[in-house]
Amino acid sequence: MNRLEQTILKNLIYNEAFTRKVIPFIRSDYFSDDTERILFKEVFEFTNKYKNLPSHEALVINFTESKTLTEPQVKSAIELLNEIKQTKDDTVELAWLTEQTEKFCQDKAIYNAIMESVHILDDKQSKKSKGEIPKLLADALGVSFDSNVGHDYMQDFDDRYDFYHRVESRVRFDLDIFNKITKGGLPVKTLNIALAGTGVGKSLFMCHMAGSCLSQGLNVLYITLEMAEEKIAERIDANLLNADFNELHTMSKNDYERKFEALRTKTHGKLIIKEYPTAGASTLHFRALLNELALKKTFKPDIIFIDYLNICASARIKPGGNVNSYTYIKSIAEELRGLAVENNLPIVSATQTTRSGFTNSDPGLEDTSESFGLPATADFMFALITNEELEGLNQILVKQLKNRYSDPNAFKRFVVGVDRSKMRLYDVEDSAQHGITDSGQDEDTGPINTFGNRENKFNRNFGSLKV
């Protein structure tokens, strides 16, 4: 038997400081010997149940009275227990033993992952796909004993100061007003949601932003559960090639190739568009896709767009299960945010307004369709609003609903320009923001109306739009 494994087992029984430090990270399959594995399981279950170390006598009694172990297994376990029984001179340096145990766990985790990967490749009946192999190896390589037990407010003030002044990695917008309200763009490990009615511009916003990120040289993954891959690519083509839909369908191949080559020279980023059936994919599928992209295309996204959240499936709740929409949509939102954290990137998605919210010119979080659990989970959420007057001006009104990056009441409402034929958004002049309530701009001066409020340009032009 391996002497290190026996030393680990002995200290798990007799060394409380060691046990409390390492037992959350050790697994029974790290022990290659059956008897050692049986002894570890008994120690683990006892410690987990009674929150204390087992005595030698307690383990002997548990083995003797076990109904799941055979007589030879009981005999071998007790013999091993007697063999590693502690004596007065058996003290071991805690730091050294902890370091050796961590290395032992890392080596065993990698070995087990390699063996499981070989099994997946050899066994055609295996339920696991080859795309899961990179994750198995990544998880094994990530095994470590995390010594961090929390932030000590009084002791860790230097770390806290550094955090306040650290430049956080963000994905920038090409719209200045969005960079202002997010303090420079979308941070990693976040879920960001656009709320809008049907046909207002959810996909337009995401396609525009995907094109913008690609132009910045970022790797972009666009997952669509609503439109075909080619339709999404068509919208991004219109945006990046500066051509409307009709022009794309009448453009000669030479002109298209010339425009596309010019685009290719301007960016080093990649864009992958993947289509799934409506309500037919969850974060389980998205994780497998990320693993396959890493394996087959050496592609790791910097940002993910999911079009759109409400028509994803939940990885935890079976479709058609006896569960309400609040729980189901909240579950999807939590899973997507977990995916963002896991891959250290921002995720951008969208959701529909309710029926009443569709006709409401001033929607709030309560107008989120199906589940209020979605805005509770999102880091950044905003509504896209339009009406005939705004369409006539080629503008969309944006209203902040939730913002964990900055004060949502600064620039709470503002307009951006829109060119729907080219699937493009753009910054408007500052004067276009004047007169919008809570825009963060100086209000127009105007006559006092009968309600005691100063009448401004926005109210005069768009009196039917409630702001």
Mean pLDDT of the chain: 86
Angstrom distance (rounded) from CA 270 to CA 289: 15
pLDDT at 186: 96
147 — pLDDT class (breaks 50, 70, 90)? low
- The pLDDT of residue 101: 94
Give residue 318's pLDDT. 77
Residue 23 above 80 pLDDT? yes
pLDDT at 152: 85
Q: Is 392 helix (H, G, I), strand (E, B) or coil?
A: helix
The 10s digit of each residue's pLDDT in 187-230 is: 999 999 999 888 888 999 999 999 999 999 999 999 999 899 99
By the 8 A CB rule, do 196 and 384 touch?
yes
In angstroms, the CA 274 to CA 329 distance is 22
First to last CA, the chain: 75
Q: Where in the chain is the domain with CATH 3.40.50.300?
A: 170-428
Range 112-139 average pLDDT: 83
Q: Is the pLDDT of residue 370 over 80?
A: no
CATH code linked to domain 3-141: 1.10.860
Indicate whether 125 pLDDT > 50: yes
Q: What is the pLDDT of residues 290-333, one digit of tens each?
A: 999 998 889 999 999 999 899 999 988 876 667 788 888 999 99
Question: Cα(84)–Cα(92) distance, rounded to whole angstroms?
Answer: 14
CA 152 to chain CA centroid, Å, is 27
Dump pLDDT digits (tens) for 392-425: 999 999 999 999 999 988 889 999 999 999 999 9
Q: What is the pLDDT of residue 295?
A: 86
| Contact assessment for residue 19 and residue 53, using Cβ atoms and an 8 Å cutoff | yes
In the chain, CATH 1.10.860 sits at 3-141
For the record, the structure tokens of 394 come out as 């080629």
Check: CB of residue 226 under 8 Å from CB of residue 307: yes
- 3-state class (DSSP) for residue 203: helix
Query: Above 80 in pLDDT, residue 440?
Result: no
Structure token pair of residue 338: 């977990």
Q: What angle do CA 334, 338, 341 make, to 5 degrees?
A: 140
Distance CA 308, CA 332 (A): 11
What's the alpha-carbon Rg for the chain, to the nearest Å?
A: 29
Residue with the larger pLDDT of the pair 364 and 316: 316
- For the chain, give the number of residues: 467
- pLDDT per residue over 240-260, tens digit each? 999 988 889 999 999 999 999
CATH entry, 170-428, from 1.10.10.10, 2.60.40.1840, 3.40.50.300, 3.40.50.12780: 3.40.50.300
